[in-house]
Chain A
């Protein structure tokens, strides 16, 4: 393939070539970074919560007056919920994974200040593990004798002697999940540190805030505490196929029990996730739209400049054809020319992609761009250039040799 004449021709039409190369470079730089961010967002949205997502739902009532017998209320509610056909497990809970509202505490291995791991705290007088459908990877669930009762009107401390931690907490503090069983860790640090013994480890359990940064998103523990607060908050696990009906029945049953409270939450787990990640999804969609727009605009730019060159060079093409060049040669000429330009653009674009990423890292604490995105972006932009130039190149090949004989 004779590159020499192409380079000579390019020297005469530098502007168009530079424009295309610049556009390719900018597109590559932006697309790599945008897709990297999209991937991170979607990974956050898709990560498992640990909860049996197609079985569990949340139902919560707030008191509209003073409720004296909170334990009685809880027991009556649980009984009513268990009586609904299709219900597998019920637990009164303090908060719900991924629901954006919950409790947080610091956990340390030795009770010494300074090393607290921020941890989301769940508790229930029933089996939180069973009601949420969590998976125990080591140890056991709580037994009934371990359950403590805490009434927020009379008790100032909320604590228990035993705890089930998430695998993330276990691995942060100990060698592995098995190793954590039986060990004592502390809630808080310093004078107020409260010891608690690990009896079990669940593999995955997202905190209620479910932050996008993974480091502490799965850092959670469960206490066997029957918390007697003013709100009535339950996790119900039902047969997947019957859940929608069970939810309706649950509302009817609990609303009929007492008139002095108001339903504030009734959501299945998918809905809870959907609401929590609305922002991540919106952000990802916006970036996907920008990426598609960019690729289209760049493709149209390549088509535009290539078409311009074809119309400018009609006469030369005719001459080449008249001198014996085949259509294939003409197509090959334009395709090669385009590949040369896009390659230069890609080379510049790689540098710009890394530069843009470094800028975003410093400004927005984004992660470093993995090389895979550069390679992927490179191939995508290259293919885009190739496809975009085919149309104009085809039209160039259609120029009849006879045009060489006409004046202009």
Chain B
């Protein structure tokens, strides 16, 4: 990479870490360290929540998703605004008014210690795994760019994030997030503008080509449990997932608990919903434009440069044959794309339809060759192909001007760091409040608990780095992150819903939580083709029903604690 790009990367990362470390003032007491003394303005909290959502996984995984699969992934987020509204009028006022440090602390007040501990434990496991996956995304970029081992890449990204999170707490996390948003948006704009300049047709024609290639199909109204991204899985399953994630996941709850007031907490949630769908659509569109770009510029047969090197070394002859076939298909595809644009521009629908048909045939033929190449890579390396994650990095390195490459790389790393920092901070909070303070040492000076939290941040950081090392080749990372979450989120949401029903008791809630997870596991094992978004519905509904049923016999004699 050119030295100017390096300068930008190192300069930005240094600025970010220093910003985070400077925020350590006022964090020696737990209220300051964990909740920023409840002083954060709504816009900072809102931007911070958005920044966590626009992570490296978004920049690499979602753009790659757009290039290979099109726009339909945006349906995943259709439930978000609904979820924010529901949370704003239900759980947010509840939890903010409870003056708790964690969402699970509230569960003990409402139910009992075992329900609190189990729910908190599930959060720790799912978020710890997800944190590792989020580190893996930029680690993949580094490995592709510099040929570094994944372990080194993981350490380079993880250690700075752990440092400023350990020292600065939620204040550092939030204010660094705000600055990162500027860089991330700038990087995405840089990629989009470069694409529009380099694609040899007009933006409108580019979108027509994308449409002809099926990449602009946003809405899928088919009702099938097996199709991963449909309107219904997004609206129903997605709403459940978002309710659980933003309502009960400590990494999100902690941010709005830190808001100055209930009103600011609710507003911050709504602000983060404001731009989520438009932003995700734009990110996917960047990926779609990369697809269009590669209609006119030959893409690599394998986007993962490490796999490409390995395959050339092991089966060079066969790979060259595939490349030759691929080149032929791409040439046919390019001719068809140009013919389609020309026919469309002169209004010749018949010729446009014929060209579109040739485009599809060439695309299908090229995809067959790609599938053979990916199989070859899998055979040679023994690793599951994660090619989709390399589409954007490969494009950026080969086609972005000097300077903009550095901005993009810095943005990817920074985006990962701000996601990691938020996760680590919440993992540490839950570890300290829901386990250490609850079960090991309840009393002590604030300074002691801040130290314990710093240690637990380091431990979780190490755990996440270990997970990252093994997650690097698990397929589309955005899907991996959300699949992990969907195993538990629905069930956890169900528990919080039960918590709002005053006559539900502690032990039924606990049993219901276990039943919810067993139900999800059963669906995963017995019906593996069911899309993961529906797991959230399965978990939440099971917990709700089982909790209600088990509470019925005792409802008349309830001794429920309801004090909040």
Does A pair with B?
no
Interface of B with A (CB < 8 Å)?
none
Interface of A with B (CB < 8 Å)?
none
